[in-house]
Amino acid sequence: MTLSRKEYLYQLSDLSENSHTAEYLVTVIEKVIEGIGKDRICTVVSNNVANVRNARKIIHENHPTIENVRCVAHSINLIACNIVKEKFGERLLKRVNILTTFFRSFHQANAKLAQIIKEKGISGGYCKTRWTTASKSVNSVINLESALEEMASDHDKVLTNDKIKPIIQSRNFFSNLRVLRFVLDPLRKAVLSLESRRATLADCFLSLARLAATLKKLPKSLNPAF
């Protein structure tokens, strides 16, 4: 990416036949630097796997004007993955996935839910396609809380999966989802911000600072293990 925010693909290489040691990666990167010119490169950005991290470090030592930068968006994605792998997040997301899969797959229940959503005038509606992020999935279920509760109390005959009604009516299900949303929302917003072509290193550090501030606000009493 240039200073004017234009992106150029310089080279694609098949490195599958070689062992990706730091030393080997340095030789590959050095050839690119030589081809472009070290004075025209300000930063090398990558994920933080040990061999790649060491390669970035060596490149910076060889060329002090080329900054060694870890991909912040990748780091935030790893944080999100760790959160949803915790028992608290994993259990909730499994239940959310059961709900979404059921309503996508069973026409009668789906139609009744859509009718209730319309009658209640719930904005945002019901996502009929696969949710691409955990954050969007959690937000959608919270948005449909009143509709799902009406389904469980007044239209349970169309809930042919025995797991659906207990999930909806389980104690603290929706309140726990709000706790999870409280953490996942800033992660999602940070990744979206950093994917912008206008993002700078300042945006990266600000995103991490906001995330830290959010996590500090999360009372441990809500779920000590989480």
Q: Same structural domain for residues 32 and 84?
A: no
Six token digits for residue 208: 């991490």
Residue owning tokens 């709000």? 178
Q: Range with the lowest mean pLDDT among 13-17, 26-30, 77-81, 146-150?
A: 77-81
Residue owning tokens 């994605």? 77
**Tens-place pLDDT, residues 118-148:** 898 887 655 544 334 678 888 889 999 999 9
How many other C-beta atoms lie within 10 A of the C-beta of residue 12?
5
Q: Same structural domain for residues 50 and 115?
A: no
**Tens-place pLDDT, residues 63-74:** 999 999 888 878
Q: Same structural domain for residues 125 and 155?
A: yes
Structural domains in the chain (count): 2
> Is the whole-model pTM more than 0.85?
no
Measured in whole angstroms, how far is the alpha carbon of residue 183 from the centre of its chain?
A: 11
Residues 138, 181: Cα–Cα separation, whole Å:
6
Six token digits for residue 121: 């005038």
Q: Same structural domain for residues 80 and 48?
A: no
Q: Which domain holds residue 185?
A: 76-222
Q: Same structural domain for residues 92 and 187?
A: yes
DSSP state of 154: H
Mean pLDDT computed over 41-62: 92
> Under a CB-based contact definition with an 8 Å cutoff, are residues 4 and 30 in contact?
no
pLDDT at 92 over 80: yes
Amino acid letter, 50: A
Which of these three, 70, 98, 120, is where a domain ends?
A: 70
Which of these three, 70, 89, 107, is where a domain ends?
A: 70
Q: Same structural domain for residues 122 and 155?
A: yes
Which of these three, 70, 92, 121, is where a domain ends?
A: 70
